Amino acid sequence: METHSDLQRMAAYLREQADELLKRWADLVLTGSRGLTSADDVRRELDDLLHLVLRSMTDADELAGGELRAALAELSRSRARSGYSPSETALAVFALKDAVHEFVADAAELVPEFLAFSRMIDDLGLHTFETYAAAREEIIADQAEAMLELSTPVVRLWDGIIAVPLIGTLDSARTQLVMEKLLDALLATGADHAVIDVTGVPTVDTEVAQHLLKTVMAARLLGAECTICGIRPQIAHTIVSLGIEFGDITTKATLADALAYALSRAGLKIGPV
């Protein structure tokens, strides 16, 4: 194929001045990387990449193409994790084109070769970008999961009384997690009173209310009483406007009131020393 022989010629030409080219490439990448990595690291990374690029440009090495893509994927993934912007990541690849262009600028006979080379680099750049985006998506998914775990602590208020402070928007997945954690905690601690504090819940709609009611019902089946506290004034308004009935579930204004109520149910009370 025409392009292949072009690429091969280009590879042979570049291989002769690989060291110079690497140096120029590394300089270009470093100027655009805001000092996020050291010059040595960049040079090592790019050295590997350049070898793979040159190998994949010659037909003799079929594996090199795959290896090059894997190496680029690894590079963009690690850059995505260490906070590079997408264009900074793609720059690592595109800078090679600039570097090579400087070398062949005055060699008019290398134009078709340079075009073929340029097309290949564009391709690799796109690949880098795609992996970068995928890595970012992965990070976001991980963070969402971590946040879900973080946002549902179960704390022990007193012997036999536990509290679940809910912070953030409640959705089905989260309420399910809250329910499971609360029930497990009831079982593990042997508590017979649970306080669900919704001070940090910004909005309540019928669905959220339904979820809360279900949680309370499930806790009741386990033999524990549930109190809901910390309903904000606006939310109280919404709940009444929506016609949501909390039935016989005890609701208290603040966590302190709920604790006092739970203590009194357990036959305890707090008094001055």
Partner 1 sequence: MDRVPILKIGQVLFVSIQIDLQDDSVVQLQEDLADQLAATSARGVIIDITAVEVVDSFIGRMLAMTGSISRLFDAETVLVGMRPAVAITLTELGLSLKGVRTALNAEKGLQLLGGTGDG
Q: List contacts with partner 1 (CB under 8 A).
A: 179-180, 183-184, 186-187, 190-192, 214, 217-224
Q: State in angstroms the smallest separation of the CB of 209 from partner 1.
A: 14
3-state secondary structure of 254: coil
Largest pairwise CA distance in the chain: 96
CA distance 159 to 167: 24
User: In terms of CB distance, is 4 or 214 closer to partner 1?
Assistant: 214
Nearer to partner 1, 220 or 232 (CB): 220
User: Are 200 and 168 a contacting pair, CB within 8 Å?
Assistant: yes
Is residue 60 classed exposed, middle or buried when 0-12, 13-18 and 19+ CB atoms within 10 A define those classes?
Answer: exposed
Cα dist. 29→44, 108, 122 in Å?
Answer: 12, 26, 16
Q: State the minimum distance, in angstroms, from the CB of residue 166 to partner 1.
A: 18
Q: Which is nearer to partner 1, 83 or 267 (CB)?
A: 267
Least separation in angstroms between residue 214's CB and partner 1 is 5
Given the complex with partner 1, which of 201 and 219 has the nearer CB atom? 219
Cβ nearer to partner 1, comparing 1 with 221: 221
- Tokens 């912007």 label which residue? 85
Sheet with strand 250-252: strands edge to edge: 155-158, 161-167, 193-200, 225-229, 250-252
Q: How many H helices and E strands in the chain? A: 10, 5
> Coil, helix or strand for 17?
coil
Choice between 143 and 172, CB closer to partner 1: 172
**Is the distance from CB of 197 to CB of 258 less than 8 angstroms?**
yes
Nearer to partner 1, 2 or 248 (CB): 248
Compute the least distance from the CB of residue 162 to partner 1, in Å. Answer: 12
- Closest approach of Cβ 193 to partner 1, in Å? 10
Smallest separation (angstroms) from partner 1 to the CB of 176: 8
Contact, 105 vs 82, CB < 8 A?
Answer: no
Conformation bin of residue 39: beta by default, left when phi > 0, alpha when psi is -120 to 50: alpha
**Residue 184 CB, nearest approach to partner 1 (Å):** 6
